[in-house]
């Protein structure tokens, strides 16, 4: 087992620090150009390009780009009953939490006769991307589709890569039925993002695109963000475990492996002020990697973006957590709520050792679509707000309009806009 970084915080070189905090891939310029070309192909040739991409990248010939609804229903009826019950419980929890996020209409009287309001309305159509490839992710289907339905979105378009059969995995199709998707397409990668952003003969253009994906999906979302709303650049999985001397080394190691097994590009790190704990975690991690079913992927992630970091003071531990800005922040500490206040730059925070990140990935109801690559400093987790559009309204009485007219005239004339000034002047009341 090799880790990219295993050292004292203050021994990190400037380059190592940059690599930890800015986790974008080194070949990003090449990736950007490739994705730009792929999106261009989709815009130009639409469905024909999507079919070619499925053959090129997924190794399948698409007989049907859109998955018929009866295939979803068959997948749902054939699903393991216990798994179905688990997915339905997850969907119920997601629905409950996300419905509670819908903001009430705001109405404020800023001065006599001037009342302002802000109202949220659902987007007409959104696109949800559920990744595939190395594994099936019905949980990501629920995390994207269920909040959209809770927000009142009219049409939910779901895209997920085709498997060898030319269809998404049965678990994904079943989750589409449980979540309430409107349409399902067997499309993956940057091509799926381009299809939802710009539309093709078969795939309708959407108003927003949400959902996690690999580097190509993440870059495609960045590039279409000027044309449609996106949630955040949610790329390969990440976790930062913040642990004190009393943390359980094996639980710490398991948290690192849980996210590392997603993707060779996953970023996993632990920071502590206890050299004893760090040594114990190192040993536990080696033991768990040895028997991990997805060992090859885990080892690749640890070598690429794995880190064990030792700090001298607890303040430095929390400072590192703020700067790292992880997708998932696990606080295995004596005072996790207090530590959360000191280290808030994360997509989602897990308080205490009982709160395994896996629970949030699947069943608690909080969303697992989260900003990665350090972008939790700026972006938020996927929420109901991503499916809503806000607009304001303004009500002004005749008396209030008259009282404000001279101020508006003066301000408009100072900006050289006489039409604005005249519009205000026309509402001035004379006595």
> What DSSP character marks residue 5?
E
Q: How large is the greatest C-alpha to C-alpha distance in the chain, in angstroms? A: 89
Alpha helices (H) along 309-397:
314-324, 336-342, 357-362
Q: Can you give the pLDDT at residue 134?
A: 63
Alpha helices (H) along 100-163:
138-151
- Digitized pLDDT (tens) for each residue of the chain, 431 residues in all: 799 999 999 999 999 999 899 887 666 789 999 999 999 999 999 999 999 999 999 999 998 999 999 999 999 999 999 999 999 999 999 999 999 999 999 999 999 999 999 999 999 999 999 998 667 899 999 999 999 999 999 999 999 999 999 999 999 999 999 999 999 999 999 999 999 999 999 999 999 999 998 889 999 999 999 899 999 887 789 999 999 999 999 999 999 999 999 889 899 999 999 999 999 999 999 999 999 999 999 999 999 999 999 999 999 999 999 999 999 999 999 999 999 999 989 999 999 999 999 999 999 999 999 999 999 999 999 999 999 999 999 999 999 999 999 999 999 999 999 999 999 999 999 76
**CA distances for 103 relative to 106, 143, 389, angstroms:** 8, 19, 11
Q: Can you give the pLDDT at residue 25?
A: 67
Domain made up of 5-27+236-377: CATH architecture: 3-Layer(aba) Sandwich (3.40)
Name residue, tokens 């909040």: 147
Coil, strand, or helix at residue 272? Answer: strand
The DSSP bridge pattern shows strands 106-111 and 114-122 to be antiparallel
Burial 213-242 (b: 16+ CB within 10 A, else e): bbbbbbbbbbbbeeebbbbbbbbbbbbbbb
Q: Can you give the pLDDT at residue 214?
A: 85
Q: Can you give the pLDDT at residue 157?
A: 98
Q: 195 near 107, Cβ under 8 Å?
A: no
Order the strands of the 388-396 sheet from edge to edge: 106-111, 114-122, 388-396
Instruction: Count CB neighbours of 88 within 10 A.
Output: 14
Q: Can you give the pLDDT at residue 431?
A: 62
Q: Can you give the pLDDT at residue 3?
A: 93
Token pair, residue 246, equals: 């009393």
Euclidean distance between CA atoms 144 and 368, whole angstroms: 9
Domains 5-27+236-377 and 46-232 share a fold: yes
The residues that are catalytic are 327-328
Q: 143 near 94, Cβ under 8 Å?
A: yes
Helix or strand (DSSP H, E) at 208:
strand 208-210
Q: Tell me the pTM.
A: 0.92
Give CATH superfamily name and number for 46-232.
Nitrogenase molybdenum iron protein domain (3.40.50.1980)
Angle at 237 between CA 355 and CA 333, to 5 degrees: 30
Report helix angle 215-224 to 189-198, nearest 10. 20
Euclidean distance between CA atoms 206 and 196, whole angstroms: 6
- Bridge partners for 389 per DSSP: 121
Instruction: Count CB neighbours of 391 within 10 A.
Output: 9
**CA distances for 289 relative to 265, 284, 296, 332, 365, angstroms:** 16, 9, 9, 21, 29
Q: Can you give the pLDDT at residue 27?
A: 65
Task: Sketch the domain layout of the chain as residue ranges.
Answer: 5-27+236-377, 46-232, 397-431
């Amino acid at each position: 087992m090799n880790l990219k970084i295993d050292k004292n915080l203050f021994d990190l070189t400037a380059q190592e620090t940059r690599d930890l905090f800015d986790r974008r891939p080194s070949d990003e310029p090449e990736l950007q150009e490739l994705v730009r070309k792929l999106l261009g192909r989709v815009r130009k040739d639409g469905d024909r390009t999507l079919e070619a991409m499925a053959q090129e990248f997924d190794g399948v010939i698409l007989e049907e780009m859109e998955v018929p609804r009866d295939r979803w229903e068959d997948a749902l009826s054939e699903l393991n009953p216990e798994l179905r019950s688990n997915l339905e419980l997850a969907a119920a929890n997601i629905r409950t939490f996300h419905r509670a996020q819908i903001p009430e209409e705001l109405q404020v009287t800023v001065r006599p006769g001037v009342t302002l309001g802000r109202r949220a309305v659902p987007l007409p159509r959104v696109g949800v991307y559920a990744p595939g490839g190395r594994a099936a992710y019905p949980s990501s289907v629920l995390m994207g589709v269920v909040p959209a339905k809770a927000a009142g979105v009219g049409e939910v378009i779901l895209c997920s890569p085709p498997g060898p059969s030319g269809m998404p995995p049965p678990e994904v199709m079943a989750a589409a039925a449980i979540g309430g998707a409107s349409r399902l397409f067997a499309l993956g990668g940057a091509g799926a993002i381009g299809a939802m952003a710009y539309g093709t003969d078969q795939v309708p253009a959407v108003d927003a695109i949400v959902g996690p994906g690999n580097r190509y999906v993440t870059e495609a979302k960045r590039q279409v963000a000027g044309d449609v709303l996106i949630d955040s650049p949610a790329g390969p999985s990440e976790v930062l475990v913040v642990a004190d001397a009393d943390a359980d080394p094996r639980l710490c190691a398991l948290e690192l492996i849980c996210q590392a097994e997603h993707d060779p590009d996953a970023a996993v790190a632990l920071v502590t002020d206890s050299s004893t704990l760090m040594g114990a975690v190192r040993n536990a991690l080696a033991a768990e990697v040895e028997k991990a079913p997805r060992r090859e992927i885990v080892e690749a992630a640890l070598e690429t973006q794995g880190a064990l970091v030792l700090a001298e003071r607890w303040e430095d531990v929390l400072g590192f957590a703020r700067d790292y800005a992880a997708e998932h922040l696990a606080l295995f500490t004596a005072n996790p709520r207090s530590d959360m206040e000191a280290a808030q730059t994360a997509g989602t925070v897990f308080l205490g050792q009982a709160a395994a990140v896996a629970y949030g990935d699947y069943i608690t109801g909080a969303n697992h679509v989260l900003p990665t690559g350090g972008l939790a400093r700026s972006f938020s987790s996927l929420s109901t707000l991503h499916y809503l559009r806000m607009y304001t309204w303004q009500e002004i009485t005749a008396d209030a309009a008259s009282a404000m007219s001279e101020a508006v005239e003066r301000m408009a004339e100072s900006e050289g806009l006489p039409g604005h000034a005249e519009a205000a002047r026309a509402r001035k009341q004379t006595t």
